[in-house]
Amino acid sequence: MTPASGVCAMPYRPLGRTGLDVSLIGFGASPLGDVFGKTDPSEGKRAVHLAIENGINLFDVSPYYGLTLAEERLGEALVGKRNQIILATKCGRYGVDQFDFSAKRVFASVDESLQRLKTDYIDLYQAHDVEFGDLNQVINETIPAMRKLQEQGKVRFVGISGYPVKVLVQVAKAAPVDTLLSYCRYNLLINDMDVDLTPFAKENEIGLINAAGLHMGVLTEEGAPAWHPAPHAVQKIGRELAVTCRERGLNISSLALRYCLDHPYVSTTLVGMSKTNQVRQNLELLRIKTDLKLLAELRQVIAPVFNRVWPSGRAENRS
């Protein structure tokens, strides 16, 4: 892979014991489904192509993002390029309040995703936001169904995703998986992923994917989308951080994402992108180092809301 002129070569890390090497920056495709506001589909396609040309090889999507729109657009963009990348999608979540973790739905869902993504295999198939399911079902029905798909060659590896880190550990202990996707639990605003999840993943050599290094838009100049679940105080601090960085001629997103890329065990950090300028800006991070002095200053601003979480999932699964 030859990077565009001026851009540093992409580092790759092993994804647990899968044998796959994934790019340090992963492409989160939810914005392609207009989750963060309307996007231009041709620009989205160019963003995907630019990312591939510059060595980003992990693309993560779900039928939930834009209610299948993100999968459709990603599938379009990947025509002729499918075999250059590692494709991750999900099953189990189909709307804000629509969940179905039954084996029947898993088997139907994979075929629907394959069709939208215009491919005949998925590299990583993940049960999406397991905390919204009955964990007994996830453990005894969903994951075994996904393993069946692996035997059939429709998917190569199996993982789970979710917000409460303890639930991810609980499920993975009972039904071994190849990867764990955690979101909004390790970035400038929070680090509790490292308390429970990272040591477990490391000990068991499970691939660890850190999603939403920008805290789903909180750590951007634009700020969080209206649907964002973070407490108001967290979103307010995000805006303050953006101003502090801007006053110094810096961009909050660059600082926040670079911080995530420095994590020593995480295989890849997923960042949601739908524009070529975002891809370029995020690739630029490969050549910069975290400004530790500035980071220490920002820590003071963040302190009142550091590690603040929100409830997600069934009452019995919130942790």
- Looking at the annotation, which residues are catalytic? 65
- Return the residue of 15, 24, 25, 29 that touches ligand NAD, per CB under 6 A: 29
In the complex, least distance from residue 102 CB atom to ligand NAD, rounded to whole angstroms? 19
Residue placing its CB nearer to ligand NAD in the complex, 28 or 207:
28
Asked if 189 interacts with ligand NAD (CB under 6 A), we say: no
- Return the residue of 63, 159, 217, 238 that touches ligand NAD, per CB under 6 A: 217
Asked if 36 interacts with ligand NAD (CB under 6 A), we say: yes
In the complex, least distance from residue 285 CB atom to ligand NAD, rounded to whole angstroms? 8
Asked if 31 interacts with ligand NAD (CB under 6 A), we say: yes
Asked if 28 interacts with ligand NAD (CB under 6 A), we say: yes
Token duo for residue 105: 């739905």
The stretch near ligand NAD (CB under 6 A) out of 103-111, 164-172, 206-214, 286-294 is 206-214
CA–CA separation, 79 and 274 (whole Å):
17
Asked if 44 interacts with ligand NAD (CB under 6 A), we say: no
Q: Taking CB under 6 A as the rule, which mask of x and - marks residues 292-311 in contact with ligand NAD?
A: --------------------
Asked if 268 interacts with ligand NAD (CB under 6 A), we say: no
Return all residues near 273 (Cβ < 8 A) that are at least 6 apart: 27, 28, 31, 47, 51, 279, 282
# binding residues, ligand NAD (CB under 6 A): 27
Return all residues near 30 (Cβ < 8 A) that are at least 6 apart: 36, 61, 62, 65, 66, 70, 272
Residue placing its CB nearer to ligand NAD in the complex, 102 or 281:
281
**Span 76-135, contacts to ligand NAD by CB under 6 A:** 128-129
Asked if 317 interacts with ligand NAD (CB under 6 A), we say: no
3-state secondary structure the chain: CCCCCCCCCCCEEECCCCCCEEECEEEECHHHHCCCCCCCHHHHHHHHHHHHHCCCCEEECCCCCCCCHHHHHHHHHCCCCHHHCEEEEEECEEECCEECCCHHHHHHHHHHHHHHCCCCCEEEEEECCHHHCCHHHHHHHHHHHHHHHHHCCCEEEEEEEECCHHHHHHHHHHCCCCEEEEECCCECCECCHHHHHHHHHHHCCCEEEEECCCCCCCCCCCCCCCCCCCCHHHHHHHHHHHHHHHHCCCCHHHHHHHHHHCCCCCCEEEEECCCHHHHHHHHHHHHCCCCHHHHHHHHHHHHHHCCCCCCCCCHHHCC
Residue placing its CB nearer to ligand NAD in the complex, 139 or 183:
183
The stretch near ligand NAD (CB under 6 A) out of 40-48, 103-111, 270-278, 308-316 is 270-278
Asked if 278 interacts with ligand NAD (CB under 6 A), we say: yes
Q: Taking CB under 6 A as the rule, which mask of x and - marks residues 142-181 in contact with ligand NAD?
A: -------------------x-------------------x
In the complex, least distance from residue 258 CB atom to ligand NAD, rounded to whole angstroms? 11
Applying CB under 6 A, the residues found at the interface with ligand NAD are 28-31, 36, 60, 128-129, 161, 181, 183, 211-217, 220, 253, 270-273, 278, 281-282
